[in-house]
Amino acid sequence: MVKWLIAAAGLDRPGIVAEVTRALLDAGANLEDTSMTRLEDHFAMLLIVTTPHDLTGARMEELLAPARQRFALQLSVHPVDAREVAGPRGARWLVTVSGPDQTGIVHQVTGLLAGRAINVGSLSSRRLPGDDGRPVFLMSIEAEVPEAAAADLAGALAALAQREGLAIHAEPMDEFRL
């Protein structure tokens, strides 16, 4: 069994997912974790799939070629290590950020997290028109916070928020045993 990471993106139109997954089905692939979403006018797909181990990268590309051509997709196909899925590295936190759109917000926030060995499990962001015509940037992060990093995280993010003119809300997601 071989595990693959497939990335595909193109102008959004009906049928992209259906065509790409038809090719994967023909390849004998089983879809595992996937994330597919529209980003402005584009549709982006990220998929982890497993296939029988005699399937070559060249054959995979060949099977995906009709979908790539029909939808003018940017496509990449890479085999990846089929390791055991790692559990979360620390307590789950939710971090939400909002503020006037400017370059560097994602880097500033994730740089602060990375400096504390905090792993980002998911991140999504949107840019919205603001009331006064200035675009607003919104970001939501689910992070895995090691115990040693938890104590000063809220304070460090508050300082960053103050410095950069952002609103940042960060809190651990409680786990209840009911």
Q: What residue ranges bind another protein (CB under 8 A)? A: 1, 28, 30, 32, 50-52, 82, 85, 87, 92, 94, 122, 171, 173-178
Query: 152 vs 171, which CB is nearer to another protein?
Result: 171
Whole-number Å distance between alpha carbons of 116 and 160: 14
User: Which amino acid, one-letter code, is at 87?
Assistant: G
What tokens does 122 get? 């998911």
Query: 99 vs 172, which CB is nearer to another protein?
Result: 172
Kind of pairing between the strands at 2-11 and 74-80 = antiparallel
CB of 137 to another protein, least distance (A): 21
Query: 84 vs 132, which CB is nearer to another protein?
Result: 84
Q: Is 51 left (phi over 0), alpha (psi -120 to 50) or beta?
A: beta
Query: 47 vs 71, which CB is nearer to another protein?
Result: 47
CB of 62 to another protein, least distance (A): 20
CB of 33 to another protein, least distance (A): 8
What tokens does 58 get? 């060249």
CB of 115 to another protein, least distance (A): 25
CB-CB contact of 118 with 90 (8 Å): yes
Neighbours of 43 (CB within 10 A): 20
Whole-number Å distance between alpha carbons of 162 and 82: 43
Question: 4: which strand partners?
Answer: 49, 79
Query: 33 vs 132, which CB is nearer to another protein?
Result: 33
CB of 165 to another protein, least distance (A): 25
